[in-house]
């Protein structure tokens, strides 16, 4: 004989077995991801180092995931305009972005009105790699080696022009550090991207620029621009000496490239993107393809990348304080 209590339990169990399993919408979306093309925002113009790195890595990601990854250049304000597009996108895995040391670690050092928090507004996915800085110049530099350039700049304080990709960038901050260490003073000429500055460097409109070799190494090798010094040894420019070896001590910073998504990106999607890129670039062929652009592969996990961004932001704030640089509105 079945009691009332037992009868109720049996009915409940039978209903539970018969009922269809209804997954949350978010869970279904993650399970089907990716089911359509992914958009990757590159926050600088085509033709520079960031664009080149972004396109190469997104090609690998597309191959790994089996869907198109469309690169969209959204330049301006040292990479902060494009980064803001990523920060405000839906966190569904279909909009990601290329982050850099400028757009994330350096930007809050310079701007009080930054429309995003470089850590809280994003989901860190992976640091792709790092590259040294190189001081490049053309005919307006008035020299063919670093000591000659420093002497020429000291003779004309506040007159030598130096290109940058904006005052909210790491390159600008490091340029000011170089000026302090070398005892010179230059005038900043901002561009929306490094590729836009190269013609003006070659024709003498501006004198020098602290750049990433991933964008300008070819011009240096061809003799169209002079490579004065690098912050760390460069495999693509082995004949260019380091600042340290030429007497500018302590000037050894590197630039990083990474991939981020909007805050709230599901962990499973972030991990899948990181794994796809790590698998693609931690092979001999993959490492060689990045090193050919003077980028040393890193492919860190999301947690490690997030911690690295936060620490560098703190370090750059301290450097800005030493240089007397304050954020502006």
Taking residues 166-192, what's their average pLDDT? Answer: 92
Q: Is the pLDDT of residue 236 over 90?
A: no
pLDDT in tens, 91-125: 999 999 999 998 999 988 888 889 999 989 999 99
Q: Is 137 helix (H, G, I), strand (E, B) or coil?
A: strand
- CA 34, CA 272: separation in Å to the nearest integer? 10
Domains 38-131+255-323 and 134-246 share a fold: yes
Note whether 82 and 41 are within 8 A (CB): yes
What are the backbone angles phi and psi of residue 312, rounded to the nearest 5°?
Answer: -65, -35
DSSP3 helix / strand / coil % (the chain, rounded to 5) = 45, 20, 35
Taking residues 210-229, what's their average pLDDT? Answer: 93
Determine how many CB atoms are found less than 10 A away from the CB of residue 99: 31
Q: Find the length of the chain.
A: 329
- CA 62, CA 42: separation in Å to the nearest integer? 16
Question: So where are the chain's domains?
Answer: 38-131+255-323, 134-246
What pLDDT score was predicted for residue 67?
A: 98
Q: Which residues contact 86 (CB under 8 A, 6 or more apart)?
A: 41, 95, 96, 97, 122, 260, 261, 262
pLDDT-derived band at 193 (thresholds 50, 70, 90) equals confident
CATH of domain 38-131+255-323: 3.40.190.150
Q: Is the pLDDT of residue 21 over 80?
A: no
What pLDDT score was predicted for residue 18?
A: 39
pLDDT in tens, 297-315: 999 999 999 999 999 988 9
Domain at 134-246: CATH architecture: 3-Layer(aba) Sandwich (3.40)
What pLDDT score was predicted for residue 9?
A: 37
pLDDT-derived band at 329 (thresholds 50, 70, 90) equals low
What pLDDT score was predicted for residue 49?
A: 85
Taking residues 255-275, what's their average pLDDT? Answer: 97
């Amino acid at each position: 004989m079945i009691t009332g209590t037992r009868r109720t339990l049996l009915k409940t169990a039978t209903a539970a077995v018969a009922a269809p399993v209804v997954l949350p919408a978010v869970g279904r979306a993650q399970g089907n991801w990716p089911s359509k093309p992914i958009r990757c925002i590159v926050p600088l113009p085509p033709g520079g180092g960031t664009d080149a790195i972004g396109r190469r890595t997104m090609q690998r990601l597309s191959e790994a995931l089996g869907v198109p990854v469309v690169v969209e250049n959204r330049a301006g304000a040292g990479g902060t305009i494009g980064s803001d597009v990523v920060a405000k996108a839906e966190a569904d895995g279909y909009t990601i972005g290329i982050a850099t040391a400028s757009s994330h670690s350096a930007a809050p050092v310079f701007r009080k009105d930054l429309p995003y928090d470089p850590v809280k507004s994003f989901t860190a996915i992976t640091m792709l790699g790092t590259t040294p800085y190189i001081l490049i110049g053309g005919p307006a530099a008035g020299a063919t080696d670093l000591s000659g350039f420093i002497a020429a700049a000291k003779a004309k304080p506040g007159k030598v022009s130096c290109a940058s990709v904006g005052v909210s960038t790491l390159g600008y901050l490091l340029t000011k550090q170089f000026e302090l260490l070398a005892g010179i003073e230059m005038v900043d000429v901002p561009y929306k991207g490094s590729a836009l500055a190269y013609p003006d460097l070659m024709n003498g409109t501006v004198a020098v620029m602290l750049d990433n070799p991933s964008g300008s190494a070819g011009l240096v090798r061809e003799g169209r621009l002079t490579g004065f010094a690098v912050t760390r040894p460069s495999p693509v420019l082995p004949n260019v000496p380091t600042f340290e070896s030429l007497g500018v001590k302590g000037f050894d910073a590197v630039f990083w490239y990474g991939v981020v998504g909007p805050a709230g990106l599901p962990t499973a999607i972030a991990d899948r993107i990181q794994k796809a890129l790590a698998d693609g670039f931690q092979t001999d062929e993959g490492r060689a393809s990045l090193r050919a652009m003077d980028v040393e592969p890193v492919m860190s996990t999301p947690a490690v990348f997030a911690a690295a961004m936060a620490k560098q932001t703190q370090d750059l704030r301290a450097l800005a304080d030493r240089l007397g640089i304050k954020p502006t509105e």
